[in-house]
Amino acid sequence: MIFSYKEIDHNIYFFNEHIAYIFRQMFHYNLSVYDESLLVHPDFREIINAARKTILEPLKEIIVVYHNLPFGDKIQLQIAFSYNNSIDAFTDIDIKPIKFEELNIRISEKLKKFFINLWDGYPQVKKMESDFGTVKDHYDKLIDEDNCEALICPFCGIETFEPSEGKYREAYDHMVAKATYPFVSVNFKLLFPACFKCNSNEKRSTDTLVKDDGTRRAVYYPYDSTITHDNLEIKIVPLENYDAQNLATLLRNIKWQFELKRNGNPDERLDSWNEIYGIKRKYFERLNRLEKEWFYELQSKFKDSIELSQTFKDFEEKFMKSAKYQILISGMGIIKYSYFNFLFSTVGFEKKLNESIS
């Protein structure tokens, strides 16, 4: 990720807490039939009875099925409840989340339908909306300028977000996939806005926590405050010697690659970020297409600095400061910053830039 989200206080988190409360009570009491007085928090009873078709009736069936499961299957379900909602699972590869397919089929099918409907049908009744708010309201507060200084998708830095005051919002990415793992569909501690291209084009049904070969991978937790664009380094590394005579298409004419580091070091979570969202590929494609245009932009600003009698050092500092600021507010700003940073580090760049405008 380029930067993290800042956590907010919002009533929508209590919806998942009420659902989680029911399952904790189910595990504790192991009832043969549904008992509202033991299973449902008093504050949630009016809602659950109003949402009979989507919440109450499915839960009644789940309670009965759970009671009749073998002991080992009950324990596995309880572990899934704990592991799948664990924030530590993002970085601790020893925590192995449990999939629907690993559970007893008698309860996995009912759980999957129940939890997916909780998300797809939210809010099922008016009181749910009045008590917990809407997804759009959560989105608005999360990306409001008072809470979030960025205007771009933190998962790619390429696309800009729909504004909080706008009619629409970006889709929420289930970082722990709701179609794969039980108990996570309405846990907003695991749900984060992502642009359409990241969510629908790149990630799609990719399992964030587990690779295709079944091994665990560590990923960034999007509320981790240590994730900032200041400690992210995306460096262009040439793979062969080059002639800097034609700066406008320098990279187009050589082999090169992106190198990702955080706090000056490689990070397994950066590798996961690249694998899931196709970061290096997308950045390469866009830089390859826009290199000449971005170089002309640099030339234009350089000509202006000459007219203002700026030193090259002053020009570089001012230009790169502006480029870094654009990372958080302009689509593809992160790629442009990496490109310009590479150019200014090129040997003899001042002389070559002067020659290019003469």
**Whole-number pLDDT of residue 38:** 98
**Whole-number pLDDT of residue 36:** 98
Same domain, residue pair 27 and 171: yes
Kindly tell me if the per-residue pLDDT of 245 is higher than 80. Answer: no
C-alpha–C-alpha distance, residues 207 and 179, integer Å: 10
Q: Give a yes or no: residue 219 inside a domain.
A: no
**Which among 181, 190, 212, 216 is positioned nearest to 99, based on CA atoms?**
181
Q: Determine contact, residues 218/269, Cβ cutoff 8 Å.
A: yes
Same domain, residue pair 162 and 45: yes
Same domain, residue pair 78 and 112: yes
C-alpha–C-alpha distance, residues 208 and 219, integer Å: 7
Same domain, residue pair 24 and 155: yes
Q: Give a yes or no: residue 130 inside a domain.
A: yes
**Whole-number pLDDT of residue 320:** 97
Instruction: Please give the tally of structural domains in the chain.
Output: 2
What is the per-residue pLDDT across 38-62, written as a single tens digit (0 to 9) for each? 999 999 999 999 999 999 999 999 9
- Residue 206, φ and ψ in degrees, nearest 5: -60, 135
**Whole-number pLDDT of residue 297:** 97
What is the per-residue pLDDT across 310-338, written as a single tens digit (0 to 9) for each? 999 999 999 999 999 999 999 999 999 99
**Which has the minimum average pLDDT: 211-220, 238-247, 251-260?**
238-247
Domain span at residue 126 reads 12-203
**Whole-number pLDDT of residue 165:** 76
Same domain, residue pair 112 and 169: yes
3-state secondary structure the chain: CCCCCCCCCCCHHHHHHHHHHHHHHHHHHCCCCCCHHHHCCHHHHHHHHHCHHHHHHHHHHHHHHHHCCCHHHHHHHHHHHHHHCCHHHHCCCCCCCCCHHHCCHHHHHHHHHHHHHHHHCCCCCHHHHHHHCCHHHHHHHHHCCCCCCCCECCCCCCCECCCCCCCCCCCEEECCCCCCCCCCCCCCCCEEECCHHHHHHHHCCCCCCECCCCCECCCCCCCCCCCCHHHEEEEEEECCCCCCCCHHHCHHHCCEEEEEEECCECCHHHHHHHHHHCHHHHHHHHHHHHHHHHHHHHHHHHHHHHHCCCCHHHHHHHHHHHHHHCCCCCCCHHHHHHHHHHHHCCCCHHHHHHHHHC
Q: Give a yes or no: residue 5 inside a domain.
A: no
Region 342-348: what's the mean pLDDT? Answer: 93
Q: Give a yes or no: residue 194 inside a domain.
A: yes
What is the per-residue pLDDT across 119-150, written as a single tens digit (0 to 9) for each? 999 999 999 999 999 999 999 999 998 899 89
pLDDT tier for residue 266 given thresholds of 50, 70 and 90: very high
Same domain, residue pair 132 and 271: no
Q: Give a yes or no: residue 305 inside a domain.
A: yes
**Which among 276, 284, 278, 224 is positioned nearest to 254, based on CA atoms?**
284
Q: Which of residues 158, 187, 203 is at a domain's end?
A: 203
Kindly tell me if the per-residue pLDDT of 90 is higher than 80. Answer: yes
Kindly tell me if the per-residue pLDDT of 228 is higher than 90. Answer: yes
Same domain, residue pair 171 and 237: no
Q: Give a yes or no: residue 53 inside a domain.
A: yes
Same domain, residue pair 183 and 255: no
Kindly tell me if the per-residue pLDDT of 7 is higher than 90. Answer: yes
Same domain, residue pair 242 and 325: yes
Q: Give a yes or no: residue 3 inside a domain.
A: no
**Whole-number pLDDT of residue 209:** 95
Same domain, residue pair 268 and 333: yes
Q: How far apart are the first and last CA of the chain?
A: 41
Percent of the chain with pLDDT strictly greater than 90? 90
**Whole-number pLDDT of residue 201:** 85
pLDDT tier for residue 243 given thresholds of 50, 70 and 90: confident
Kindly tell me if the per-residue pLDDT of 244 is higher than 80. Answer: no
Same domain, residue pair 71 and 139: yes
- In sequence order, the β-bridge partners of residue 236 are 258
pLDDT tier for residue 302 given thresholds of 50, 70 and 90: very high
Q: Give a yes or no: residue 4 inside a domain.
A: no
